[in-house]
Structures are given as structure tokens and as C-alpha cells.
Amino acid sequence: MPNAYQKIYPDRSSTHTLRKANISVSFFGEKQGLPERKVREMAKKNNHEIRDPIYAFVHMDSSEREVLNSAPVQRLRHIHQLALTSLVYPGATHRRFEHSLGVMELATRIYNAVLENGEIDILDIDGKYDKIYYLRVLRMAALVHDIGHAPFSHASEDLFPGDCNHEVMTLRLIESDEMERLWAMLKIQTEDVAKLALGRDHPKKKTFSNTEAILSEIITGDAFGADRMDYLLRDSHHTGVAYGRFDHYRLIETLRILPKAYEGGSKEPALGVETGGLQSAEALLLARYFMFSQLYFHPVRRIYDIHLKEYLQAWLKGGRFPVDVAEHLNLTDNEVMAGIWRASRDPDLPGHDVAARIVMRNHYRVLYTRNPDDVLKCREAGLAIYTAACAEFGEENVRHDRPKIPASQVAFPVLEPDGRIVSSLLKSDALRYIPEVAVDTVYIRPELLDAGRAWLNENRESIIESGSELEDMT
């Protein structure tokens, strides 16, 4: 009977099996049955386990470990997953490195689950070679999908120049000389890795086969992408915010590749779920909603993103990240934090004020947050208050933040017990009505907070009433 390791990796021997193969070896100089060279080859470990707080172990072989040890992947040890969130949630010190390992592990489990459920024909994976080849490509694409991130990840994303972004940098690194040599060693195609790692965000807007589309969805998909699953589970674990947890074991076991038959009889395949896993799918998408509303859009966490960006604009040459591959690899959170530390103590260095605020945790304070009563009177209430506060206290003393995640209506196929396929949005009221996450926050310099609150209490109604002019402008 296969053990748990063999269920996830059916084509590999377990470490127990490898140990049994060497039972007849004497380590007192006498060879029994096998040549000494063969014994040494068998004793050399090829399958490796990496401890992980979410999945217990992440597995890889010696060839894959060469990719893990590459400069682009190792750099992720020095890129925080959640920027400066540890200033609010002290446990949030995890990095893109362990997230990338987690995405690789989850993608592997999803791949094996859908193949075990009989989707080889739909995937057009013909025979054992194709199965092994695409598994290798999928795993490596999952491992490198984030290597293009700038320091502090998404908090500084819009400081890339021109049309560059972290997807463009990821593609450049995947196609770099160092990584090309590794793909050749693994006997996989660079373009295949890039397609699966970047999916629909591929900068070159490649055409995808059904196989490539499904495999990239396993990593980057909006509904069941391993990237999304892992960051919710991992961020929840490290911050202590329970909202990101869901039954990923049950969800993965029930994933299927199904045609979108509910779209006029379409045969286009997509990643879907058996009806028994629908509640797990609901929990995943609701977890995303709660994590954005409770963690990612936390007002103090968000102001530190703003302060960090302000510092980087002062510190970076031209206020923009470099796009040269070598320069990108040499820039991590470590260099930025060293700069912040120095600038916080030297008034003559660029970004001194904001650096001191980060180091001393003296961030701008919340003056106003979105209120539904205010929105009924003026859709742009937050903008009206920000504009008035700038006029009253000076633009340099006020900040405005208004991120939004649209209402999530993710449609995917659901397989009914009678074999029919329906849309998730018809099957689940919970999925149909997941609301948007909208934040509208005005911050003020802490030294002006008391004066700002007194001013706002006295003038709020008149400011909101006059905000109708701003509605017309937006």
C-alpha cells in the first residue's frame, strides 16, 4: 500500500524504500551482492525534504535543488512577503522564498489530483514521458513565479519604470543565462516555464494551448491557483489572523478539469470542482475577502506601504527601480532597510523624515475612514475630506489611500453527482454575493491629529455636502 509520500509523488520511491534497498550492504569493508560503486550511488540521496509550517514537508529532487540554489530564487530569502506588515503583526516576517516553495508543493498536489481523477485526455498529456515532463515544468514554474519582485513585493510595485513590472522582470530572469543553463540541465523548455509561471500576465501575450492554459491556471488561477491558496494559508499562519484558513486538503481532492458546458455547451476546459468540494471552494474565496478586509487593507499596514514608497522614491536613483537583471538581483529588502536605518539617523540623507517615522513607528494617523452614511450623501466623501484637509493643514501633512478589490464573482464548473456540469455562480449563493472590499482612508501627521479631529468634527457635514463637485470630476 502506498504511503502518504507516494500518494503525492507516485513515481518516486519513499526514503523507507531507499533504505530497504541497502539492507545487504556491509559497512565493515565487506561487499555483499552489490558492487561498491553501485552501493555508493544508491546511498546518495536524490529526494529531499524541506520542513514547512503549512504542509509539514516540501519535496524536491537533486536536479530541482539546483534551481532552488540559483541566485534569482535565493534572493527571495531577502524579500518579505508582506512588506512592513511585521510593524503591525509581529509574526509577519515570512519571505517570498518559503511562499514559492509552498506554491510548488501545492501545484504538485493539484496536478497529481486532477490526473488521478482521469483528466489526462483533456490535458492532452500522452504517456508517462509527457506526464513527467509537464510535472517538472509545472513545479519549476511555480518555484520561480515570483523571482521578479522588487524589494518589499507589492508595496513598491509601481516604482518600476515605464511598462516594466514584476512579471516583466520574472520573464527576464527566467530567460537569463543562469536559468537557461538550468532549464537545459532539466531538459525542459524555457518558454514552457515562462508560460506556466506567468499565465495570462505573460508580458508577450503568448497563445496558450489547452494544456498550457490549465497548467498555468493551477499556479496563477483566480479560483484555485496554488499561488492564491498558499499566500492565504501562509499569511494567515504568520500573522495569527485565522480568516485565511480553509480546507485545502478537501478542495484539492475534489478538483477536476471540466468543460464549461454551461456556456452554450462550450467544451473549453477549466479547473473546476466536484459538488462535494464546493464548500471548500466557497471557504477559499471567502477567506480572500476576509483577509483583504482584515489584514491586507488594515489602515496601519497600508500607511506603512505609503511611507515605504515615499522613502524609495527619495532613495532610488530617479525614484525608480533598476530593470537591469544584475542590478535587480543585487537589490533586496536588506539594502533598503539599511538605507532606512541610516537615513533615520542623519537629517541630511534623502528620505530622513519618512525613514525616521518607519524606524520609530511614528506613522501618520487615521483622520477619516469610509462611512456608508457619508457615501450615501457623496460618493467621493473621502476625496472631499482629503482635499479640504490638504487646504487646511498642507498637502505634505495629509495622505489619502483608497484601494479596492471588486466584488468577486469567480465562475468555475461544478460537477454534479449525475454527471451534469453547472456554473459555480448558479450553484452557490455565497459565491454570487461576495462583496467588494473598498477602503477610503485619510491620514494626518501625528502631531496634527488632535487639531485635525477637532476640525473634522466641526466641518464634516459641510465638506461632504460640497463634495458633489468632486463626483462630477471623477
Overall average pLDDT of the 20-30 stretch: 37
The reported pLDDT for the residue numbered 204 is: 81
User: Residue range 383-397: average pLDDT?
Assistant: 97
**DSSP 3-state of 126:** coil
Predicted local distance difference test score (pLDDT) of residue 412: 95
Average pLDDT over residues 437-465: 96
Lowest average pLDDT, out of 30-39, 81-90, 329-338, 427-436, goes to 30-39
- Runs of H (alpha helix) within 264-380: 278-291, 299-315, 325-329, 333-345, 352-359, 372-377
> By the 8 A CB rule, do 96 and 149 touch?
yes
pLDDT at 23: 35
Radius of gyration of the chain (CA): 26
Work out the burial of residue 20: count CB atoms within 10 Å of its CB; fewer than 13 is exposed, 13-18 middle, 19 or more buried. Answer: exposed
When pLDDT is cut at 50, 70 and 90, the band that residue 33 belongs to is: low
Q: Nearest 5°: phi and psi at 117?
A: -85, 5
Q: State the chain's mean pLDDT as an integer.
A: 90
Provide mean pLDDT across the span 403-427.
91
- Work out the average pLDDT over 230-238: 98
pLDDT of residue 410: 87
DSSP 422-462: EEHHHH-HHHHTPPPEE--EEEE-GGGHHHHHHHHHHHHHH
Which range, of 142-151, 235-244, 436-445, 465-474, averages the lowest pLDDT? 465-474
pTM, 2 dp:
0.89
Q: What is the average per-residue pLDDT within 399-413? A: 90
Residue 146 confidence (pLDDT) above 90? yes
- Report pLDDT for 371: 93
267-323 tens-digit pLDDT:
888 999 999 999 999 999 999 999 999 999 999 999 999 999 999 999 999 999 999
Residue 207 is predicted with a pLDDT of 85
pLDDT over 80 at 54, yes or no: yes
Beta strands in 145-192 (DSSP E): none
DSSP labels, 7-48: HHSTTS--HHHHHHHTTT--SSS---SS-HHHHHHHHS--EE
Q: E strand or H helix at 57, and its extent?
A: strand 56-61
Q: What percent of the chain has pLDDT over 90?
A: 77
Q: What is the DSSP letter of 208?
A: -
CB 311 within 8 A of CB 358: yes
pLDDT tens column, 330-363: 999 999 999 999 999 999 999 999 999 999 999 9
User: What average pLDDT does the segment 460-474 reach?
Assistant: 77
Contact present, 120 and 175 (Cβ < 8 Å) = no
Cα dihedral 304, 327, 77, 351 in deg (nearest 10): -20
pLDDT at 127: 80
In terms of DSSP H, where are the helices of 203-277? 210-220, 226-239, 248-253
CB-based burial of residue 75 (10 Å sphere; 0-12 exposed, 13-18 middle, 19+ buried)? Answer: buried
pLDDT (0 to 100) of residue 447: 97
Determine what percent of the chain is predicted with pLDDT higher than 70: 89
Over the stretch 83-123, which tens digit does the pLDDT of each residue have?
999 999 999 999 999 999 999 999 999 999 998 887 667 77
Give the separation between CA 202 and CA 193, rounded to whole angstroms: 11
Q: Going by DSSP bridges, is the β-strand pair 404-405/437-438 parallel, antiparallel, or unpaired?
A: antiparallel
Q: What is the DSSP letter of 76?
A: G
